[in-house]
Structure 1
Amino acid sequence: MPSSYVEDPAPGHGSSAPRSAFRSDAPAIGLGGSWRFLLSPAVDAAPEGIERDDFDDGGWADLQVPGHWQLAGHGAPAYTNVRYPFPVDPPHVPSDNPTGDHRLVFDLPDDWPDGPAVLRFDGIDSCGRVWLNGAELGVTKGSRLPTEFDVGALLRRRGNVLAVRVHQWSAGSYLEDQDMWWLSGIFRDVTLLARPAGGVRDFTVDAGYDHLTGRGTLRVDADSGVRVSVPELGIVGLPAGQLAEVADVEPWSAEAPRLYEGEIHTEAERVPVRIGFRTVAVEDGQLKVNGRRIVFRGVNRHEFHPESGRVVPREFAVADIELMKRHNVNAVRTSHYPPDSAFLDLCDTYGLWVIDENDVETHGFSELDWQGNPSDDPRWADAYVDRMRRMVERDKNHPSVVMWSLGNEAGTGRNLAAAAEWTHRRDPTRPVHYEGDTDCSYTDVHSRMYASHDEVDRIGQGVEGPERVRERPFILCEFGHAMGNGPGGLLEYRDLFERHTRCQGGFVWEWLDHGMAQHDAEGRAYFAYGGDFGEPLHDGNFVIDGLVRPDRTPSPALAEFAKVFEPVRITGVDGALRVTNHYDILSTEHLDFSWVLEEEGIEVAHGALTVPPVAAGAATDLPLPGLPATAKESWLTVRAALGADTPWARAGHVVAWGQTRTAPAPAPAAPATGAAPHLTATELRLGPGVFDPLTGRLTALGGLPVEGPRLDLWRAPTDNDRGSDDPEEARWRAAGLHRLQHRVVAVEPLGDALVVRTRAAPPGLGFGMRADYRWSADGQRLRLDLDVHPDGAWPCTLPRLGLRMALPAALGAAEWFGRGPGEAYADSRQAARVGRFTGTVDALQTPYVFPQENGNRIDLRWLRLTSDDGAGLRVDGEAPFAFTARRWTSEQLDAATRTTDLVPGDTIVLNLDLAQNGLGSASCGPGVLPQYRLQPESASLTLTFTPQPPSPAGTPAAEETPSR
């Protein structure tokens, strides 16, 4: 056969009709393992006759299947987001087309039955030509979709030769431009399955639920002779095509994933099935499951593993889902292709709403104003419907799948409309989704990505778009771009989902950073991104945009997501507690409530809280528990935790929490005064402080060498600062905020105070910031009153407003009373609670794959940094302040492109801030909301610095127990 099949837009040939993914009691052989492999640089360079028994593959390499050849040392990965890494000339692909030949010789088990059998490939990227025992079976395209070939007549007992020629590029590659690493090979399971005569060829389970009567209906569509049995429901041998009604069935939902074990069977074959009764409908402008409006608190999930690419071991898929459930994620959009079918089995079991998305994206044509887009090219018509058909038939029996998606970012056109029409006919029980159908001409929901808060509000009010669109449920198929530090603004999206019933949530982009595990020349581990493998065309670290890092370590954004979208909200209201149930379906009956009272972060009392069951959507008010009197600032924290073990968390796992303050902070201590400045020939002393008499900068405090503090306006930009068409970072750099110069105006002893007047400004520009430092002291403490005033016409927001100082590297232990334990920013702070927290300076860093601003702790009342012996520094704020502490400067953090670039210095750099600019989501989405933008305005900050002596021998530096 000529190589023209590679560039044929058709979906391939030779395969059998698609069917549901299932395993039965019929024999099956997994063909994964070590295969022989040869990579050729082009189609025509590949050897002839690889399908023959006598072909000599002795000089070939070994390759693990499933696997990607680029991750086994044959070629290299490449990352692009939108642009195709080859010339856009559909359906043609480059002649330099890496082609991987795979060969496996296998025997059949002695008890393998004679008769029909199929050879199943669950994923080949991007095009595969298959032979068995010298006979060509056919060609498959649609990389993330299954293909089966009938092979029973070709099998032999010993020495079966399976040969698969895989091409990196094909016409199918034009439909697979899905913001991910380009990786090739046989990357999902290969299985030989016996298909007994008279067995179960395929089946469709229709298990509906009537929420008004509580009755379930069950019908299985299959060939004549197929029956279904569900013993728990008293259904035994129900013939295919017949309807059974079941009274008082327990419905399936993401919150209560009830599955009934059953069997589809004939005399020749038995197939275990798990049946979930549920009905999906679009009614009254809302998407409803079992009669209830649902809200997607979802994530987009690519399949990825940092070492094996899209070959994701089952334990990692389980870890993903358990981590999702523990962080209040209730939905997954399978961006942007159907996942391994085993993942959907897990979604059925654990409980997640799923939007199952077709293996179609032609985003690169947007660079060409969509000219030549396959979505409207009749040559590709069969391929679009074929891909949709293979997904729907494979996944139709999963109760977790509540919507089908036609694909992603593929423009629009007749082929998408045809795929939608086929899907509506084939499966009228589920709505059809596609974000690109902006006027909902062939889809059932209104979907947008990265709509601003204002736009979502207008959509919710019903004043945005034509009537056909306004009648549809609205979801954000992508929002809250989780690239680097961020996103900010999730709370405001949540409020819109609760305010407008048509606005039914969305899916954060995305679940996982796609960093490739690598080691540098010194053996240090890091995660690689676009460009790290020499790709001439790439999109850098845009592939690093998840709520969890590549190794599945949660980022601070995941904790923020969990808090913002917690299903139970606990708030203080007029001296009482209010518990509001935001579950879609469940009551709070499965939760245990407890409380703890902390005085300045130290527990003083705790107990259980009796909360009557609160129905979904309802709320109840409770009196505060009996609390002891406290003298210092005190907070009551109430937690809602699982009352029993679940598959995804043990009893006691905290699902939601809330805080209310029960006692205010006492009046601030008297100002540190009484000592007067004392000038010598070389230094200026004030209480425990030593200052440079020329610059007025603090150089020592109680014998502790220090440098600073000095006004600081710069932070290492985040990915969101760098994003958008008009990025904040560009404005900040244009304003020279990364290279401020400081001028000392005056150093003036005034009575018992030292006043240092300065101006900080960028070179070459006429605006700046005046900063006056007023120092006062008593014998033990040093007080700073900082006043800042903008000078001139400022062109931009500020990255930060605060002070920077340097301390000895030995002060590596931090303790604070404020919000924690994790980092927090103006528009991403819901997960931070008030308490007393401890941690090392090293542990305060968030190791974002692409280094950037991180580690900010907010609303501090006081901070203590100490060495191993307890000696160090305490900082108290008259008003709450924020801090970061790290072993490198903001400039070094700014310059780093890998975590391995950050080398600890010989000081700890301490920032004490009034505020930082918000985070937003401008790496792909809206920027910082107005209320979180840090404007250059007059401000003041009052801090008291107290040297800390070493702790007595054998006594810890902090004797009290901090917050739990």
Structure 2
Amino acid sequence: MSFHTHTHTDYVQDVSPGSGALPPRAWYASSDAKSLSLNGNWRFRLSSTADAEDDSFAAEGYDAGDWAQIAVPGHWVLQGHGSPIYTNHLYPFPVDPPRVPTENPTGDHLRVFDLPAHWPDLAEGGAVLRFDGVESCARVWLNGTDLGEFKGSRLPHEFAVGHLLKAAGNVLAVRVHQWSAGSYLEDQDQWWLPGIFRDVTLLHRPAGAALDFFVHASYDHLAGTGTLRVDSDVDGRVTVSELGIDIATGESVTMPVEAWSAETPRLYEGTLATGGERVPLRIGFRTVDLSDGLIKVNGRPVLFKGVNRHEWHPERGRALDLETMREDVLLMKRHNVNAVRTSHYPPHPAFLDLCDAYGLWVIDECDLETHGFTEQGWRDNPVDDDRWTPALLDRASRMVERDKNHPSVVIWSLGNEAGTGRGLTAMAEWIKDRDSSRPVHYEGDPTCRDTDIYSRMYADHAEVERIGRGLDGGTLKRRQLPFILCEFAHAMGNGPGGLADYQRLFESYDRLQGGFVWEWIDHGIAYPELGFAYGGDFGEELHDGNFVCDGLLFPDRRPSPGFVEYKKVIEPVGITGAFGEATVRITNKQDFADLSALAFSWSYEVDGEPVESGTLAVPGLAPGESADVKLPAPPAGAPAGEAHWTVRAALAADTPWAPKDHVVAWGQIPVSERRVPTVTATARPAVGDNGVITLGPGTFDARTGALTAVGDVPVSGLRLDVWRATTDNDDGAPWQPDLRYGLLWRGLGLHRMRHRLDAVESGEHALTVRMRVAPAARELGLSTVYRWTSDGNRLRLTVSTVPEGDWTVPLPRLGIRFGLSTADGVRWYGGGPGEAYPDTRMASAVGRWQSTVDDLQTPYVRPQENGARIDVRWAELGGLRIEGDPAFSLTARRWTTEQLDAATHLTDLTSGDTVWVNLDHGQHGIGSQSCGPGPLPQYHLRAEPAEFSFVFSTAPAPETS
């Protein structure tokens, strides 16, 4: 057999989708036909260019004994061969479509396999070789025969191979190129990771087996009936034993059924039997339609509480196993997420099986994005070039045919950020002709020419409200369409802020059918020397830094504070009440299910301590219904103090996604006001001969007025603090210069404030220190007065600040900072247990909490301001008890804010000998302007006169366990 060396200008740079692959068809996990997984260790050779090696390696008998071994599924750049590259939208190669560079890393893969025992007679049946995902272009040989080549990285491709198989010693050879013409269609804000990253499977195809089938399972919500028809390219029979169904393919049957929804994911197990094969069916009866300007499922409008999900694992990249996918789905369900947009490509097909089973609405998105062409005004954009249309249609058809039988898939998406053009129109027309049962989504065309949904990214709250009220203008078609935010609330670093404000809008206007937070998980790559690596850490000459770390989960799949906040914001049950009221208002915010699956309980708490608890009888409210439920009388003999009712809704029984007693919603109702700490100024400042002033338990430097100790607890560096280590959202996006508060703050010099001592005044019952706090090179500043008083046992500090000069931007923070020589355990009464900021505080519950200093930190991949506990009434750490008037925000860490600000990775932070404590009167909001809007005006920390107090006393060190 002869072999031909393909030139670099051959199939790699051809705009066609490929050659030799079979037509797309429905995917299913298993049947009673034989299959063989070819996952595992493969021999591997990496070349620096597409033409560096000939294809003789594909011949039988080729000796690859000196080649490396890599795992398939996998990416070779994550297994020690080359390096990953991260760009947001810039192509990491010259934009010259369809051509790609000669420097084109190319991986040759070899796998030798035997057929398992009892494989059907090779002379009788066919077989297909299936690749579920290869980036970005592959050519395939089996036993020396060239099967063909394909592009479309996140899509399946099959080859007929039955005539080539042998009982033993089959040689499968695959050449994978990192870059191809297809790369121009896959510019999807993620790591560029070449390789065979999804499953490779050999499937026996018995004679007479179906090549494809389409399950049509609609639901009539008025009649409560479902209609089933299964179309197949060959005759067969469909059975659903539970429903007593036994019909021929192509026939329809209608019967009473339970509908499928994301809240009640009822599936019926069935079988499609054709010649030689029985295929399992998982049937969910549901109907999606657009009526009254709304997306409805089974006759009801739905509110999407969604996430955008890239596939990611910190060690394996996009090579996900089933358990990791299941973990994703369980985390979503346990955090009240009900929808997933598969940004920006179809997921591993097994993920959709999980969505069917556990219940998630899915926007299934095509493997298409050409975002880099925005750099040239969309000139030469492939989606508006007829030469590329066959490739676009191939991608659309492979998505639809693969995933059409999943009830969870309720919307098809043409792709993401690909501009506009004739190719998108062709895709939309093909999809609607093939499957008219689902609407079509695409965000990038403001005219909505090819879509059934008006979709936007990162529209701010004011614009979203205008859209909800129908005041947004645009084409007539657009004004008549339902609206979703396919991306909002950019979850990069600390944040996102403003989630609750968005959700209030979604729940106020019918047209606003929710949104999808960007995004699911930080794409940090495990890297021991750095913690997790991001763009630029592999020496990329072109990269977008940590913009790839913008998820609700940390790379190791620990929920971030932002995800905990999102869970609270999108609770399926509203639990509200006014101060001092004896009733609680319960609202069922679900679209389909009543409240019968939930058990409600109450707890009466005083100063954060539970006094009594019990169950609460709540009617099984239908979706959208509310009821006022009477609370019991406050417990007799309850101690005096600040009291709250806490009402919780939890699962009444185990479910497939969470155990009994898992809390899905909660609310707190204040009963009485807190007691504000008072200190009667009776102690007198005493000036000693040793340059020390004492006032009650406080010791001060007589020259500077600086506090040096409270009792026997040393205190250092106490001063006004206005700086925070800027968050990703503070630093903002380059295209939003007015919202880049981090740059504005640095421009003013707020990160290097100077403290000028103006006076130390020892009065009859007070020590007063006057200072001016201001940045170098600027005339603005803060006139600051520290006034210390004591009753002999406790020490009160009252801080007064008055801004001077023209303050045109808000402050990052306003409070005091000081150092403690030792501190480990922390106890506090106030908001917790996790971090919270002015616009990320919904998940913060008033209670008594404890932690260690180390556990107060939030490990954002790029270090930044973190760890604040909000609404703190009192805190104990390092031998001090601190009470606030008003309540304050508490942060404690083993490094300074300046060290945190300078760090680029977690490994840059090392513990010092001092624990630095911030007691903040206020902080600026968080927002999500790393890509979205900044904090709403009500969350700005304006430079204006302020006064706040803290009371210090000594206290036993809290437990650290």
Tell me which interval the TM-score lies in, with the shorter structure as reference length: over 0.9
Q: Distance in 2 between matches of 1:836 and 1:948?
A: 16
In the TM superposition, what is the alpha-carbon distance from 1:651 to its structure 2 partner? 0.3
Q: 2:819 aligns with which of 779, 787, 806?
A: 806
The one-letter amino acid paired with 2:743 is A
Q: 1:663 aligns with which of 662, 672, 683?
A: 672
Whether 1:116 aligns to 2:112 is no
Q: Secondary structure at the match of 1:605?
A: strand
Q: Secondary structure at the match of 1:419?
A: helix
**Cα offsets for 1:795-830 (capped at 9, x unmatched):** 31100000011111x221111111111000000000
Whether 1:594 aligns to 2:565 is no
Q: Secondary structure at the match of 1:315?
A: helix
In the TM superposition, what is the alpha-carbon distance from 1:511 to its structure 2 partner? 0.5
Q: Distance in 2 between matches of 1:708 and 1:225?
A: 83
Q: 1:609 aligns with which of 616, 621, 641?
A: 616
**Cα offsets for 1:614-638 (capped at 9, x unmatched):** 1110100011112214411111100
In the TM superposition, what is the alpha-carbon distance from 1:36 to its structure 2 partner? 1.2
- Matched-pair contact (CA < 8 Å) for 1:678–1:686: no
Q: 2:169 aligns with which of 150, 159, 165?
A: 159
Q: Distance in 2 between matches of 1:648 and 1:282?
A: 30
Q: Distance in 1 between matches of 2:182 and 2:198?
A: 18
- Matched-pair contact (CA < 8 Å) for 1:207–1:277: yes
Name whichever of 173-182 and 156-165 sits farther off: 156-165
Q: Distance in 1 between matches of 2:229 and 2:613?
A: 53
TM-score normalized by structure 1?
A: 0.97
In the TM superposition, what is the alpha-carbon distance from 1:940 to its structure 2 partner? 0.4
In the TM superposition, what is the alpha-carbon distance from 1:947 to its structure 2 partner? 1.5
Alignment of 1:285-324 (within 5 A): 285-324=293-332
2:277 maps to what in 1?
269
2:207 maps to what in 1?
197
2:533 maps to what in 1?
528
The one-letter amino acid paired with 2:479 is R
Q: Distance in 1 between matches of 2:927 and 2:194?
A: 36
Q: Distance in 2 between matches of 1:680 and 1:297?
A: 67
1:228 maps to what in 2?
238
1:405 maps to what in 2?
413
Alignment of 1:410-449 (within 5 A): 410-449=418-457
Q: 1:774 aligns with which of 787, 801, 809?
A: 787
Structure 2, unaligned runs of 5 or more: none
**Cα offsets for 1:883-932 (capped at 9, x unmatched):** 10111110000000010111111111010110000000000010111110
1:537 maps to what in 2?
542
1:735 maps to what in 2?
748
2:907 maps to what in 1?
900
Whether 1:212 aligns to 2:225 is no
Q: Secondary structure at the match of 2:501?
A: helix
The one-letter amino acid paired with 2:351 is F
Q: Structure 1 residues 95 and 783 mapped into 2: Cα distance closer, same or farther (>3 Å)?
A: same
Q: 2:343 aligns with which of 332, 335, 340?
A: 335
- Matched-pair contact (CA < 8 Å) for 2:677–2:884: no
1:682 maps to what in 2?
691
In the TM superposition, what is the alpha-carbon distance from 1:672 to its structure 2 partner? 4.5
- Matched-pair contact (CA < 8 Å) for 1:480–1:487: yes
Whether 1:40 aligns to 2:47 is yes
2:13 maps to what in 1?
7
**Cα offsets for 1:199-250 (capped at 9, x unmatched):** 12211000000111101000001124221100101102x1111110012x10
Alignment of 1:73-222 (within 5 A): 73-113=80-120, 114=122, 115-222=125-232
Structure 1, unaligned runs of 5 or more: 867-871, 951-955
Q: 1:842 aligns with which of 846, 854, 867?
A: 854
**Cα offsets for 1:257-303 (capped at 9, x unmatched):** 00000001124110011000000011111000001110110000001
2:503 maps to what in 1?
494
Q: Distance in 1 between matches of 2:771 and 2:372?
A: 53
1:481 maps to what in 2?
490
Alignment of 1:462-477 (within 5 A): 462-464=470-472, 465-477=474-486
- Matched-pair contact (CA < 8 Å) for 2:700–2:707: yes
1:18 maps to what in 2?
24
- Matched-pair contact (CA < 8 Å) for 2:443–2:455: yes
Aligned Cα RMSD in Å? 1.3
Moved over 6 A (4+): none
Q: Secondary structure at the match of 2:56?
A: coil
- Matched-pair contact (CA < 8 Å) for 2:774–2:782: yes
Q: Distance in 2 between matches of 1:559 and 1:55?
A: 55
TM-score normalized by structure 2?
A: 0.97
2:835 maps to what in 1?
823
Whether 1:618 aligns to 2:603 is no
Q: Distance in 2 between matches of 1:618 and 1:612?
A: 10
In the TM superposition, what is the alpha-carbon distance from 1:746 to its structure 2 partner? 0.6
Alignment of 1:944-955 (within 5 A): 944-948=951-955
1:378 maps to what in 2?
386
Q: 1:572 aligns with which of 568, 577, 581?
A: 577
Q: Distance in 2 between matches of 1:417 and 1:673?
A: 80
The one-letter amino acid paired with 2:87 is T
In the TM superposition, what is the alpha-carbon distance from 1:670 to its structure 2 partner? 4.2
Q: Distance in 1 between matches of 2:847 and 2:495?
A: 23
Q: Distance in 2 between matches of 1:89 and 1:192?
A: 37
Q: Distance in 1 between matches of 2:236 and 2:116?
A: 28
- Matched-pair contact (CA < 8 Å) for 2:134–2:198: yes
- Matched-pair contact (CA < 8 Å) for 2:15–2:98: yes
Q: Secondary structure at the match of 2:336?
A: coil
Q: Distance in 1 between matches of 2:811 and 2:418?
A: 39
- Matched-pair contact (CA < 8 Å) for 1:677–1:753: no
**Cα offsets for 1:490-528 (capped at 9, x unmatched):** 0110011011101000100000000000112xxxx6000
- Matched-pair contact (CA < 8 Å) for 1:735–1:796: no
Q: Secondary structure at the match of 2:577?
A: strand
The one-letter amino acid paired with 2:950 is L
Q: Structure 1 residues 609 and 198 mapped into 2: Cα distance closer, same or farther (>3 Å)?
A: same
**Cα offsets for 1:307-328 (capped at 9, x unmatched):** 0111012111111111111000
Q: State how many pairs are aligned.
A: 942
The one-letter amino acid paired with 1:919 is I
- Matched-pair contact (CA < 8 Å) for 1:223–1:240: no
Q: Distance in 1 between matches of 2:690 and 2:138?
A: 83
**Cα offsets for 1:840-884 (capped at 9, x unmatched):** 111000011100000011111111113xxxxx0001112111110
| Seq. identity, % | 59
Name whichever of 137-146 and 461-470 sits farther off: 461-470
Q: Distance in 2 between matches of 1:68 and 1:941?
A: 56
- Matched-pair contact (CA < 8 Å) for 2:206–2:275: no
**Cα offsets for 1:642-687 (capped at 9, x unmatched):** 0011111000000000000122223543434333343434111111
Q: Structure 1 residues 486 and 667 mapped into 2: Cα distance closer, same or farther (>3 Å)?
A: closer
The one-letter amino acid paired with 2:70 is L
- Matched-pair contact (CA < 8 Å) for 1:208–1:216: yes
- Matched-pair contact (CA < 8 Å) for 1:264–1:270: yes
1:790 maps to what in 2?
803
Q: Distance in 1 between matches of 2:675 and 2:500?
A: 31
Q: 1:550 aligns with which of 530, 540, 555?
A: 555
Alignment of 1:864-875 (within 5 A): 864-866=876-878, 872-875=879-882
The one-letter amino acid paired with 1:91 is P
Q: Distance in 2 between matches of 1:672 and 1:596?
A: 38
The one-letter amino acid paired with 1:847 is P
In the TM superposition, what is the alpha-carbon distance from 1:708 to its structure 2 partner? 3.8
Q: Structure 1 residues 374 and 654 mapped into 2: Cα distance closer, same or farther (>3 Å)?
A: same
Q: Secondary structure at the match of 1:664?
A: coil
- Matched-pair contact (CA < 8 Å) for 1:677–1:752: no
